[in-house]
Amino acid sequence: ALIFLFLYCQEVTFWALDFSRGVLRTVEELISTLLLPQLKQIPEEFPAGKSVSNKINKQTLLDVVTGFTTTLSNSSDILEKQVVLKPCSSRLMEQLKLVADGEYNFASPHLLEDAEKCALSWVSQLEQVLAISDQIRKETDDTGPRVELDYWLRRKATFKSLLHQMQNPQCKSVLLLLQPSKSRLIKVCPSV
C-alpha cells in the first residue's frame, strides 16, 4: 500500500484553478503554462515499437494548440471590452411595469421624459461605437490574415452584442413608450 501511495503521488497532480479572471483566461493560462511546455518536450521521433507512427508532426500540433490559446485570449478580450448599454433608472423600470400593454398612449410626461433620457443615452453609446468602427484601422504590412480575422471577429461580436441588448424587453418597452408620443428620438433611432 505504501508503494502504491508513493506511485500515486508521483503520477497524479492536483490543481487549484483561480477563475476570478474568468474561465477563458484561466483555461488559456493553464494550456499555456502546462500543456504547451509539455508538448514542446515531446521528441520528434518515438523509439520503434512504442507508437503506431514513428513520426508525429509536432509543429502542427503546437501551432493548433497555440492558435486555440490565441482564440481563447481574443474571446476573453471581446467579453471584457463588450459595450453594455446603460441601464434605465429603476424608477422608469417600475413605471414601465405598471403601464399596461395597450396603454402606452396615456403615459405621464415624467415617464416620457425618463424614457427619452434613457433612449438618448443609448443613442449616444451607439453613435460612439459607430464612430469608432468608422475610423480607419492602420496595421503594418507584415501582419497576417489572423490579425485581420481577429479584428473583424471583434467588430462582429460588438455589433451582435449591441443588437442582442436592443432586443431585450426593457429596451423594447422604452421604444414602445416613445412611439405614440412621437418623440424625436424615434426618428433618430433608425438612422443609428
Domain boundaries, the chain: 1-80, 83-192
What's the whole-number average pLDDT of the chain? 78
Q: Is 122 exposed, middle or buried (0-12, 13-18, 19+ CB in 10 A)?
A: buried
Residue 189 has pLDDT above 80, yes or no: no
Output the pLDDT for position 69: 93
CB–CB of 68/49 below 8 Å? no
pLDDT tens-digit series, residues 11-59: 666 677 888 888 999 999 999 998 899 888 887 765 555 555 555 677 8
Structure confidence at residue 100 as a pLDDT band (50, 70, 90):
low
Q: If phi over 0 gives left and psi between -120 and 50 gives alpha, with beta otherwise, what is residue 182? A: left
State which amino acid sits at residue 136: I
Alpha-carbon distance of 169 to 4, in angstroms, equals 60
